[in-house]
Structure 1
Amino acid sequence: MPTSDANRGLLCATFAFAANFSVWTLYAVIVLPLSSLWQLTVTELGALLAAPMLTGALSRIPFGSLVDRYAAKKLFVIQMLSCVPALLCLYIATNYYQLLFLGLWIGVSGASFTIGIRYVCDFFPRGQQGMAMGVFGVGNAGAAITLVFAPWIIDNFGWHWVGPVYAVGLVLVALLFGFFAPSQPVHAMQSDTQQRTWYQLLHDPQIWRLGLYYYFVFGSFLALLLWLPYYYIQAYQLSITQAMAFTLFFVATSSVVRALGGWFADKYGGRSVNWSVFWVCLVCLFFLSYPPTTMTIHGIKQDVYVSFSINVWVFTFLLFVIGLAQGFGRASVFKMIHENYPNEMGHAGGFVAAIGALGGFTLPLLFGAVVDVFGFYSATFMLLYAVLAVCMMLMYFAIKAEKFRRRLSEAAQYNFLEDESL
């Protein structure tokens, strides 16, 4: 059973991660009013949205190495405080390039996941890792805080005040975490000698496959979080308030269900849960990919016109299902990481998390590109369908290869010529 320190550590880490995630996704709200105020192009808009995602992804790798060497609690506090100056500087930002630079700086908040996941894992036994990491992952709901709180600040005080208010909040969270979060168990700080080097880790094909899986279940979640307000406004002509409400529903449900996904991963295995997640998403993306279509059937006496399109409610329901599946998938991938790399949760978890977070950087840019090329908004989901198809093929061949190696191993162990009973 988890100890009181374990439960307190999990609660504190989840709360701190939620605060960091709300900071990391802050530009999803700030950029919308500035796009018309500063007359930004679509490319400039996409670059601003992607800037925090880029540094958030890349910073997970060095922080993953550091958290395997040093106390995660101290690193967590340092990482939070390092983002405060950038948030304060938002108040004096006056042009696009200043905002772009500050976005890159604020992106360091994305590294909080790598630090927190190692911190949490050290408190729980292997059979409860999926549950613990799933509960910690509920901190993704910090994006929902931003979608509600940041627009209120903008409406009442102006966008310049968003950064200072968030800076004060992040300092308070850092202080609370520093005072109330327990230190890691002593045995967790003594496992460094069993770790593989970066060279060994990066030459393992499995770590790249896990990274690609996480690119879909987390990277596309991040990308949709940033892209959906724009999509709802353009494809369904909704107001900003309505678009934010639908996006909030997607983010909140996908984040909260991650804890349940961790429990399922503990009970049924990370790979089984992940394979089921992929199939659910594949079906939903098939329907979301279909563009509004009008077909003319030339009849004997007259032409018959058939129209097909997905209305906003069906669209939202399919997104809701995808969000739930992605929540399960994010938990199951990290369960698989811990099953295969229990002593390298900082290195391996940081690398996989970085690849996943790069989805939040690359996919919004690709969304805009495919929409420009094909001329319809559902091309967004065609792209996600293609990414998922690659993930599923890789997982299928990995499962086949593993079964083949297992049969070879069993055959090698049983040599009938040496069987003494014959």
Structure 2
Amino acid sequence: MATTVGNTEISAPVTTLRHRPGRWIDNWNPEDPVFWAAEGKAIARRNLRWSIYAEFLGFIIWQLWSIVVVLLPASGFTLSTSESFWLISLPSLVGATLRFPYTFMVARFGGRNWTIISATLLLIPATLLGFVVQDPQTPFWVLLIVAALGGFGGGNFASSMANITYFFPQKEKGWALGLNAAGGNLGTSVAQLAVPIVVSIGASFSLGLPLAGWMWIPLILISIWGAWKYMDNLSSAKADFAAAAAALREPHLWVLSLLYIGTFGSFIGFASVFPKLIADNFPEFSSFQIGTASLSFAFVGALVGSLSRPYGGRLADRFGGARVTIAAFALMIIGSLALMTTVDAGSFWTFIGCFLLLFVAAGIGNGSTYRMIPNVFAARGAATAGDALAVNTQRKGAAALGLVSAIGAYGGFVIPQVLAAAKNASDSYVPAFAGFVGAYVVLLLLTITIYAIPRATLAGHRI
């Protein structure tokens, strides 16, 4: 018996799913085109929708303190510059670290089961935040612990991306992972937009700042329910520790990680400090009143950075990842240089324009650098084809995606700490941006030298 897919007649599917209790699925094979068209695509897309939603909430909780810190002084809290930036940066440090174990949790527990667990963990920082911000006398170490727990949301990216990888065929992984990543990144922008509005309206009902945490609890409960009811576990999802170990021994993994710190790390780092920088340098523009609601302009930075990420991947497909990444770093150098002259100059709209350029460039570089990873490992596979001990190229490339995403997220900790050090040392953020310019120049030169110029170690390929 044959089935027609498009204009091609294909034999009957060799894939027959077996469903077991707990929504476990055996014999999953998305590379079977007949099975994929008849049954697999609908299942995969259903899981993708709920994965995006859960990851979106993970990013919200991960970056919640970026906007809460700005609202604390109005509630009677007195924090030093260092304390404020620790509250902003510690969730990124914890989240980046959690991405390593989270990468393997899907294979251990199942994608549906781990989504339920990881979403449930988000209830802890969301609930505790609502309690600790009620009393201005709350010790700083308590605030720091609750902020650190927000790192649970940062780990969700790794497990969510790993889970979706198993569901889709090779030809559709890029599209699915791009949607999953973009949906998560938007959580930062939504948190910075929604929290000031809800907190200011809630103040009229004697609630106020605690709502910054509690407002997300119903949405988290929906994600837990959705994962339980609509997502699936794949028995074919296996942790590839051998590939991860082989990828860690590959020098290019560490070079790509540096580039990803410069792109994604810059995006998440600048997104987390943007509300604080506006409040410090332009307090009169920190919020806008619309009726009884307060609106922060800071959400625009994370928004444009998130929306520009998919274009980075598309441009990389057309022009090559190295060329697009080089252009992104060049724009980030221009943006940082411009900020050195405007951050203390008192021109808010010039400051915003320069920062938006930085966000767009970081978003594009984020997408292009991530797209470079499988291409680099494919080129390395071609260059070492004679090595009988080499781990399969595709397996190493897949493992590298998770490892690079984890290492790159540490930029979300580094950037706020550099800004805090500059502010404490010179009462200005200008030295920090000078340091960022230097770092981006080094990363640009690395990209040119290693990936834009054909090299024997990459089988003569230009990435």
The 2-side partners of 1:191 and 1:99 are apart by: 36
Aligned to 2:349: 313
The 2-side partners of 1:166 and 1:345 are apart by: 35
Aligned to 1:12: 50
The 1-side partners of 2:197 and 2:257 are apart by: 36
- Higher relative CO (Cα under 8 Å, sequence separation at least 6) belongs to 1
Aligned to 1:412: none
- Render the CA deviation track for 1:162-184: whole Å, top value 9, x for unaligned: 32332232121122133223545
Work out whether residues 91 and 149 of structure 2, in 8 Å CA contact, stay in contact via their aligned partners in 1. Answer: yes
- C-alpha distance 190-273 of structure 1, shift in aligned 2 (>3 A): same
Work out whether residues 22 and 143 of structure 1, in 8 Å CA contact, stay in contact via their aligned partners in 2. Answer: yes
The 2-side partners of 1:354 and 1:118 are apart by: 12
The 2-side partners of 1:269 and 1:390 are apart by: 20
Residue type matched to 1:164 in 2? W
The 1-side partners of 2:458 and 2:108 are apart by: 35
Aligned to 1:196: 243
Residue type matched to 1:153 in 2? V
Mind listing any 5+ residue stretches in structure 2 that lack a counterpart? 1-32, 289-293, 378-392
Work out whether residues 291 and 376 of structure 1, in 8 Å CA contact, stay in contact via their aligned partners in 2. Answer: no
Give the 5 Å matches for 1:272-311.
Answer: 272-290=323-341, 309=345, 311=347
Residue type matched to 2:440 in 1? L
- C-alpha distance 291-87 of structure 1, shift in aligned 2 (>3 A): closer
Aligned to 2:18: none
Residue type matched to 1:327 in 2? G
Work out whether residues 339 and 354 of structure 2, in 8 Å CA contact, stay in contact via their aligned partners in 1. Answer: yes
- Indicate whether 1:89 and 2:128 are aligned: yes
- Indicate whether 1:56 and 2:95 are aligned: yes
Identity of aligned residues (%): 22
Give the 5 Å matches for 1:313-392.
Answer: 313-339=349-375, 340=377, 342-344=394-396, 347-392=399-444
Aligned to 1:414: none
What SS does the corresponding residue of 2:168 show, helix, strand or coil? coil
Aligned residue pairs, count: 390
Residue type matched to 1:63 in 2? Y
- Indicate whether 1:396 and 2:448 are aligned: yes
Structure 1 position 57, deviation (Å): 0.8
Please point out which of 177, 186, 189 is paired with 1:144.
Answer: 189
- C-alpha distance 91-284 of structure 1, shift in aligned 2 (>3 A): closer
Work out whether residues 325 and 447 of structure 2, in 8 Å CA contact, stay in contact via their aligned partners in 1. Answer: no
The 1-side partners of 2:458 and 2:394 are apart by: 21
Output the TM-score relative to the length of structure 1: 0.82
The 2-side partners of 1:273 and 1:342 are apart by: 23
- Render the CA deviation track for 1:105-136: whole Å, top value 9, x for unaligned: 22111011111112222333444443332222
The 1-side partners of 2:425 and 2:360 are apart by: 30
When you count helix as a share of all residues, which structure comes out higher?
Answer: 1
What SS does the corresponding residue of 1:196 show, helix, strand or coil? helix
The 1-side partners of 2:167 and 2:308 are apart by: 22
- Render the CA deviation track for 1:216-252: whole Å, top value 9, x for unaligned: 2111212212222222233234332159643211111
- Render the CA deviation track for 1:347-396: whole Å, top value 9, x for unaligned: 43332222222111121111021233344333332222122122122222
- Indicate whether 1:165 and 2:215 are aligned: yes
- C-alpha distance 374-363 of structure 1, shift in aligned 2 (>3 A): same
Aligned to 1:109: 153
- Indicate whether 1:215 and 2:294 are aligned: no
The 2-side partners of 1:408 and 1:30 are apart by: 50
The 1-side partners of 2:306 and 2:452 are apart by: 32
Residue type matched to 1:173 in 2? S
Aligned to 1:231: 277
Compute the RMSD of aligned alpha carbons: 2.9
The 2-side partners of 1:146 and 1:166 are apart by: 10
Residue type matched to 2:94 in 1? T
Aligned to 2:77: 38
- C-alpha distance 125-245 of structure 1, shift in aligned 2 (>3 A): same
The 2-side partners of 1:116 and 1:165 are apart by: 23
Output the TM-score relative to the length of structure 2: 0.76
Please point out which of 107, 111, 116 is paired with 1:77.
Answer: 116
